[in-house]
A and B are shown apart, each in its own frame.
Chain A
Amino acid sequence: MTETAAASEKQSYLAAIEQLKSEESPDWLRALRDAGAAKFAQLNFPTRKDEDWRFTNVAPLVRSNFEAISAPTADVDAAAVKEFSITDASWGELVFVDGFFSPELSRIPEQAGLTVQSLRTAIANGDASLQQHLGKGLNGSATIFGAMNAALAQDGAFIHVEKNAAIESSIHLLYVSTGSAAVATNVRNVIALGVHAEVTVVEDYVALNGGQPYFNNVVTEVFLAEGAQLRRVKIADENADAFHLATMRVHQDRSSGFHSQSFLLNGKIVRNQLDIVLDGEGAECNCTGLYLTDGDKLADNLVSVDHAKPNCQSWLGYKGVLDDASRAVFSGQVMVRRDSQQTNSDQLNQNLLLSDKATIDTKPLLEIFADDVKCTHGATIGQHPKEIIFYFRSRGMSEAMARGMLTYGFADERVSEVTLKPVRDRLEKHVFKRYSPIQD
């Protein structure tokens, strides 16, 4: 690629970076943004020659020249987000419109030991914990999209849970894209849990029916101190033309637990990346996911787990249903360092291909430098077993119906593992409508 072509692809983002530089901001933040900007200028957008992007071609995204914005592109009222909103009063809910916090639509939970703010508010308040954590997520994973986010992020969610605080209310982070203009949003979330703190967070990306393509570039930094437990559900239900690239970086201290369930339901290209460092003995991460694709869409799950300390456990269980000419990628990268004895790491990627044209690229990558470890991996590209099909037919159902019901069951199984009722209900409705051959 020529220099000028590369420059023109970045132009709209570079312009936004310049614009943001001219605005007032505290020095510590300015330094972070400048570092991001420098990195962004220096790096190129990935191509399929880059190992982590081998199966995911972002050229259509790069070509789109989305405009990075500093404010929502349309007004949104409560009625418009009602179908996604969680009304249960025990929940806290932060609503973001095109990446920007909307106080009117939100319900901040109040509980001792819990701080929930928009990133913008936390910056304005000079929150010490935010300063301590923002941009301190994993090193070495700085991609051009991460750099763009560092340079341009202005809003997002900041959640801090103090030592020993077990937060009863769950927090719903609802990111609404209006689709009213071809824009790029850079959301940055920071979730920091003190020693033995606990909380449940739902990251929910949805689209209104503006119909325009857009680009959500999300970075979430998670810090789990000793014994802290984060339960997290992520939903990406973008519009069919949208790009969604999200990276969550999780740093886990001794005996902490990270429990993630992700559901990729819609979007032209959805990349769901998890970078986890198990950096204290006894830390554990359980990451499950379900991705559903059709048309010419692509869902890409990249999960990397660094077993940096002994006695840690990781579990990656991802399931996908692929229809039409859609594609999906799963890559589970597990690194077990030399001294990380007694590591236990398992991964299983199960896929159902509903069409001959659908493709799945699944590749475990295990780098194991310790000798006393138990690591497994497996992948299936499924056919429904004949005996099960016959069981349905022996009860009066056609083979087509059996396959439909089994597909629904395959997807619903992952949904049924969600314990948060309003979230499970919504997901259940989605998979039922999408796959169940009987509708009533």
Chain B
Amino acid sequence: MLEIQNLHASVEGNDILQGINLTVNPGEVHAIMGPNGSGKSTLAQVLSGNDAYEVTEGSATFLGVDLLELPAEERARLGMFMAFQYPVEIPGISNAYFLQAALNEIRKSHDLEELDSLEFRGLLQEKMDLVAIDRAFADRPVNQGFSGGEKKRNEVLQLAVLEPRLAILDESDSGLDIDALRIVADGVNKMRNKERGFIVVTHYQRLLNHIVPDVVHVLYKGRIVKTGGKELALELEKKGYDWVKEELATA
């Protein structure tokens, strides 16, 4: 469903992504790990269409469409979703209002009926229960005054409501306590199906105990330098990244 070839991208004149190749098939969960600053969030941002990042080379197709030609909102309508590493706060706009508008924009683009406030409320509450978010959050401004963990859960709530085809989770586990981690992972697992792909960016094996990946990649200095099965994550957890770097140097 997603095919990335030789993707290069820069931000403010710095080349960050230096030739990414990655294929995600429907139903697969790919984990991306890698040291700080290696370009994981940059990849996520580029795929979701943040035009602060400039693609300088390469291609990416999503569901057969040239992804890089599409503005961010059309990518989202097509089924791309990113849970932000650092979700922004939106003063004055309630979660419910925000998400209802988002869902209806996506539904409209697929010629589906829009949901009215009442119908949406029902759906939202169901999804809030799914990710164990207090229903009072529906009427609070998006992310404003939320704790770090609450923000992450709110991203997963959006994921559950918008039901994308491909979900990129950028460190949705960082800052979560053990219970919250389990809730978030359970929420994601419930959404796994044959049609939907996931890219899970994380530093920690503990998330991957819950969301068991099909493929694990190591991203380093803007390239995917190693790819393996779920046991690769365990190895990284045990040994850190130095051996990967050494392998690279000797190769």
CA distance A90 to B13 in the complex (A): 64
Give B5 Cβ to nearest chain A Cβ, in Å.
23
Nearest-neighbor residue (CB-CB) of B51 within chain A: A390
Chain B binding surface SS class: helix
Q: Does B50 contact A (CB under 8 A)?
A: yes
The answer to whether A405 touches B93, judged by C-beta atoms less than 8 angstroms apart, is yes
Q: Does B49 contact A (CB under 8 A)?
A: yes
Nearest-neighbor residue (CB-CB) of A393 within chain B: B72
Stretch of A120-128, A277-285, A394-402 at the chain-chain interface: A394-402
Q: Does B203 contact A (CB under 8 A)?
A: no
Of the candidates B71, B88, B117, which one forms a contact with A393 in the assembled complex, judged by CB atoms under 8 Å apart? Answer: B71
Give B158 Cβ to nearest chain A Cβ, in Å.
7
The answer to whether A409 touches B101, judged by C-beta atoms less than 8 angstroms apart, is no
CA distance A339 to B48 in the complex (A): 59
The answer to whether A396 touches B92, judged by C-beta atoms less than 8 angstroms apart, is no
CA distance A408 to B94 in the complex (A): 11
Which among A388, A394, A399 has the highest number of chain B CB atoms within 10 Å? A394
CA distance A408 to B90 in the complex (A): 12
Chain A residue numbers with a CB within 8 Å of B105 are 395-398, 401
The answer to whether B104 touches A438, judged by C-beta atoms less than 8 angstroms apart, is yes
Q: Does A440 contact B (CB under 8 A)?
A: yes
The answer to whether B76 touches A409, judged by C-beta atoms less than 8 angstroms apart, is no
Nearest-neighbor residue (CB-CB) of B74 within chain A: A396
Of the candidates A386, A399, A405, which one forms a contact with B101 in the assembled complex, judged by CB atoms under 8 Å apart? Answer: A405
CA distance A22 to B92 in the complex (A): 55
The answer to whether B92 touches A395, judged by C-beta atoms less than 8 angstroms apart, is no
The answer to whether B100 touches A438, judged by C-beta atoms less than 8 angstroms apart, is yes
Interface residue count for A (Cβ, 8 Å)?
A: 27
Q: Does A413 contact B (CB under 8 A)?
A: yes
Of the candidates B82, B90, B109, which one forms a contact with A394 in the assembled complex, judged by CB atoms under 8 Å apart? Answer: B82
The answer to whether A387 touches B102, judged by C-beta atoms less than 8 angstroms apart, is no
The answer to whether A386 touches B48, judged by C-beta atoms less than 8 angstroms apart, is no
A390-B72, A391-B84 given; A397·B49 CB < 8 A: no
The answer to whether B93 touches A409, judged by C-beta atoms less than 8 angstroms apart, is yes
Nearest-neighbor residue (CB-CB) of A414 within chain B: B92
The answer to whether A393 touches B73, judged by C-beta atoms less than 8 angstroms apart, is yes
CA distance A401 to B162 in the complex (A): 17
A405-B98, A408-B92 given; A398·B73 CB < 8 A: yes
Encode B208-228 as 1/0 by CB contact (under 8 A) with A.
Answer: 000000000000000000000
CA distance A240 to B217 in the complex (A): 63
Task: Name the interface residues of B102-136: CB closer than 8 Å to any CB of A.
Answer: 102-106, 109, 116-117
CA distance A406 to B101 in the complex (A): 12
Q: Does B141 contact A (CB under 8 A)?
A: yes
CA distance A395 to B107 in the complex (A): 12
Task: Name the interface residues of A425-440: CB closer than 8 Å to any CB of B.
Answer: 437-438, 440
Q: Does A410 contact B (CB under 8 A)?
A: yes
A394-B49, A396-B162, A405-B97 given; A410·B92 CB < 8 A: yes
Which among A387, A396, A408, A437 has the highest number of chain B CB atoms within 10 Å? A396
A interface residue numbers (CB < 8 A to B): 385-388, 390-399, 401, 405-406, 408-413, 416, 437-438, 440
- A sample of 12 cross-chain residue pairs with beta-carbon separation below 8 angstroms, ordered by A number, consists of A385-B88, A390-B52, A391-B87, A393-B49, A394-B82, A394-B84, A395-B76, A401-B101, A405-B93, A405-B101, A412-B92, A413-B92
B interface residue numbers (CB < 8 A to A): 48-52, 71-73, 75-77, 81-82, 84, 87-88, 90-93, 97-106, 109, 116-117, 141, 158, 162
Give me 8 other A-B pairs in contact (C-beta within 8 A), A391-B90, A394-B50, A440-B116 excluded: A387-B88, A390-B52, A393-B73, A396-B76, A396-B102, A396-B106, A396-B109, A405-B97
